[in-house]
Amino acid sequence: MDLDGKTLLLTGGSAGIGRELARQLKDKGAQVVLTGRNAERLDAMREEGFEVIEADLSNPQGVDALIARWGERALDVLINNAGQLVDHDFRKSKPDADAADNCIYANLNAPIRLTVGLIELLKARPQATIVNVTSGLAIAPAARTPVYCATKAALRFYTLGLREQLKDTNIQVIEALPPVVDTQMNDGNPMKKMPAEECARHILVAIERDRDEANIGLTKALRIAESLSPALAKGVTLRF
């Protein structure tokens, strides 16, 4: 897809991968509308020239409000990037069930609901794209974050099914699978982290080249390991 002049909705665009992706998309000539929850970060992105929408996507009301605010505006690309990571480790303490619910909604329900709510706008364009950002942990899980891993695996399977359903339409469905990226979400993670700017660049390339998947960084090796031996892949990631 040639992004020049295209209108994009990017969720979770005020920090981390989303912020870097917003900047790179803008450099390509795209009109980027981004969402976030932190007013200060949104103000900073507004100062960079972005249109921003404050939206909490961890509940139905927040998602429905975003869809309503978008209205009938043209939409060429929907990027479901917003996500939450929640510790859910019984080895440390009793997990917070409410935090788990919020994580599940933000990571899985919100992308599904946004897709349903905005798909007719995407169908109305000559060419359109949906990008769902999952994770390398959608392939094999980490023991300390099973809720996060479950949501990303579920979104991966949703994306695979959605792509099959839309294969004869104007809509390209892309899955981006980042490795561990140097963002606030991964503060304290001892693993080597990819810079957010580099991860965003790989997602951008996948959009421009109409690729079905962007297996980024160490996710490529994980995909190979999983294809050879699912038990081997799980044995590597479950330790983290």
Residue at 2 is within a domain: no
- For residue 231, pLDDT beyond 80: no
105 belongs to the catalytic site: no
pLDDT range class, residue 225, cuts 50, 70, 90: confident
Residue 190 belongs to some domain of the structure: yes
Residue ranges making up the domain that contains 84: 7-237
| 202 found inside a domain | yes
**What is the structure's pLDDT at 191?**
62
Alpha-carbon gap, residue 213 to 123, rounded angstroms = 21
Provide the pLDDT confidence category of residue 41 given band limits of 50, 70 and 90.
very high
The reply to whether 1 falls in a domain is: no
Residues 6+ apart with CB under 8 A from 39: 54
Of 50, 70, 105, 148, the active-site residue reads: 148
- Asked if residue 152 belongs to a domain, the reply is yes
Helix segments in 48-195, DSSP class H = 60-70, 97-104, 110-123, 146-165
pTM exceeding 0.75: yes
Number of domains forming the structure of the chain: 1
Whether residue 149 lies inside any domain: the answer is: yes
CATH number of residue 44's parent domain: 3.40.50.720
Answer whether residue 192 is part of any domain.
yes
pLDDT digits over 151-190, tens only? 999 999 999 999 999 999 999 999 999 998 867 665 556 5
